[in-house]
Structure 1
Amino acid sequence: MKNALITGGTSGIGLGIAGHFAANGYNLLVNGLERNGADIAKELAAEYKVKVVFSSANLMHPEQIREMVQQAEQELGQVDVLVNNAGIQYVAPVDEFPEDKWDAILAVNLSSSFHTSKAVWKGMKERKFGRIINIASAHALRASEFKAAYVAAKHGIAGLTKVLALEGAPYNITCNAICPGYVRTPLVEAQISDQAKAHQMSEADVIEKVMLKKQPVKQFVDVCAIAQMALLLASPMSSQLTGTMMPIDGGWSAQ
């Protein structure tokens, strides 16, 4: 039985991944800022009969990240799989983009993945096994208006993924990024209203003319597809699969 640490694992894509991993026998540490995070962990443990612990670490603070990894190692024994999923978003034209929002998005969406990876790296090297999975975005491969910080962070994740893949290769540590198109999560729900204001259009038009416009398959991406890809990338059989950007974006990146 292996152990996975999933940031942002108590809602949206992260919760979908957590459930899929638990259903396949993984013990988990799930991280999130939801007030009911501990209850979510208990529900996962009860449903799938695995050990699930919860961390409320704020990923803007590296010392809390290190404490979270220590908690996972102490309570689970070791971290075999790291899923860097946590993310935040803000939408505004570049000349109106608040600098504190820029700093926060870079900290959570990019820097935290460096800090988590660094914290689990020593143990993975010693055991000659590790799987790091970064939940990036189609915006790691493409850009969109009004998302300066998010696009910059996700492009940064693509670069970090490649570096970790190269450094991890001698130690059977792989690192890959999954790049989803739009998934109807709480984060995207918030974006719909923000985009409506930025583009001065209705929320229905935002979905049709802004979000899904770039996806030839005119549907939101299913969380299950992302979770299944993450499980594949976590497998011992995926040792030759590293340094990749895996689009699950309804054909967006094909254009």
Structure 2
Amino acid sequence: MTQELTPGPPGLTGPHSVALDLTGRTALVTGAASGIGRACALRLAAAGAKVRAADRDADGLRALQDAASGGALEPHPVDLTDAAGLDAAERTAAGADILVNNAGAQLVRPIEEFPPDDFHRLLTLMLEAPFRLIRGALPHMYEQGWGRIVNISSVHGLRASPYKSAYVSAKHGLEGLSKVTALEGAEHGVTSNCVNPAYVRTPLVEKQIADQAAAHGISEDRVVAEILLADSALKRLLEPEEVAESVAYLCAPEASFITGASLPLDGAWTAH
């Protein structure tokens, strides 16, 4: 899929729009080997943070480490869908000042055909894993009186779509977890927010486009225009760097009063 219905925003490869200095801070980003997670890891590293990059894709983490400047990125290969990986992730979160819960996956099936094991796996990855990571990060954040938790939710954390029962359930649950974290963390200087993108130009979405094109017998361009962007007033895919810039803003001092919120990056999808 190469066609873009309207041009993307200018300046994504130029200077960052959010002035952010994270020198001395440690950030943990999950799902960091590609897509939104990769963009967030590089953005926070560029702001001066020491980034712990977690993903099960060890090769992708090595490529990310090569792309980060100044050796500010530590790869942490981990599988967030099994018990040992969850235990390791919680330990890795200890001492983090910033936590970006981004790791995700998708499976599209009608409910009556949805494999229970896959439903459990997706909820483990996108809801239980963020809980364990938050649990691991909060003691240090509370002790120092400062912390930033950003949960990469989705427009599907605010709206439902058919055939995505696990993904929609996990993202709705993540919204609730984020709000509870905000209420508990407020007195300790910890904010917790969700960022809610529509369809982003990532490997996960590119695979969905290809799969739907094959399933419906139509071109990938038609999948984007007629299915993915049907509810969006802006007729283009979101870029990972746009999501990362929103994450950066939520870590900035100017965002210290934003907590328990959900920030839609949805091209007016939820305006309907």
Question: TM-score of the superposition, structure 2-length normalised?
Answer: 0.86
Retained in 1: the 8 A contact 2:98–2:147?
yes
Separation (CA, whole Å) in 2 of partners of 1:105 and 1:38: 21
Retained in 1: the 8 A contact 2:53–2:61?
no
Separation (CA, whole Å) in 1 of partners of 2:227 and 2:118: 22
Look up the SS of the partner of 2:229 in the other structure. Answer: helix
Structure 1 residues 190 and 108, CA, compared in 2 at 3 Å: closer, same or farther?
A: same
Q: CA deviation at 1:91?
A: 0.5
Q: 2:41 aligns with which of 18, 32, 49?
A: 18
The structure with the greater share of residues assigned to helix is 1
Deviates more, 1:165-174 or 1:53-62: 53-62
Q: 1:60 aligns with which of 66, 81, 92?
A: 81
> Any stretches of 5+ residues in structure 1 without a counterpart?
none
RMSD: 1.7
Look up the SS of the partner of 1:214 in the other structure. Answer: coil
Retained in 1: the 8 A contact 2:80–2:89?
no
Q: CA deviation at 1:69?
A: 4.5
Q: 2:190 aligns with which of 158, 166, 173?
A: 173
Q: 2:233 aligns with which of 216, 219, 231?
A: 216
Structure 1 residues 102 and 52, CA, compared in 2 at 3 Å: closer, same or farther?
A: same
Structure 1 residues 200 and 97, CA, compared in 2 at 3 Å: closer, same or farther?
A: farther
Question: TM-score of the superposition, structure 1-length normalised?
Answer: 0.92
Q: 2:145 aligns with which of 96, 112, 128?
A: 128
Q: CA deviation at 1:66?
A: 3.5
Task: Identify the residue that residue 70 of structure 1 maps to in structure 2.
Answer: 91
Q: CA deviation at 1:54?
A: 0.8
Corresponding residue pairs, total: 249
User: What percent of counterpart residues are identical?
Assistant: 39
Determine if the alignment matches structure 1 residue 150 to structure 2 residue 175. Answer: no
Q: CA deviation at 1:144?
A: 1.0
Task: Identify the residue that residue 108 of structure 1 maps to in structure 2.
Answer: 125
Structure 1 residues 62 and 237, CA, compared in 2 at 3 Å: closer, same or farther?
A: farther
Retained in 1: the 8 A contact 2:55–2:61?
no
Retained in 2: the 8 A contact 1:59–1:108?
yes
1:25-70 CA distance string (max 9 Å, x none): 111000112231342243144xx21421111111113442342453
> Any stretches of 5+ residues in structure 2 without a counterpart?
1-22
Look up the SS of the partner of 1:36 in the other structure. Answer: helix
Structure 1 residues 71 and 139, CA, compared in 2 at 3 Å: closer, same or farther?
A: closer
Separation (CA, whole Å) in 2 of partners of 1:42 and 1:132: 23
Structure 1 residues 106 and 72, CA, compared in 2 at 3 Å: closer, same or farther?
A: closer
Separation (CA, whole Å) in 1 of partners of 2:259 and 2:83: 26
Separation (CA, whole Å) in 1 of partners of 2:44 and 2:139: 23
Q: CA deviation at 1:86?
A: 0.2
Separation (CA, whole Å) in 1 of partners of 2:212 and 2:89: 34
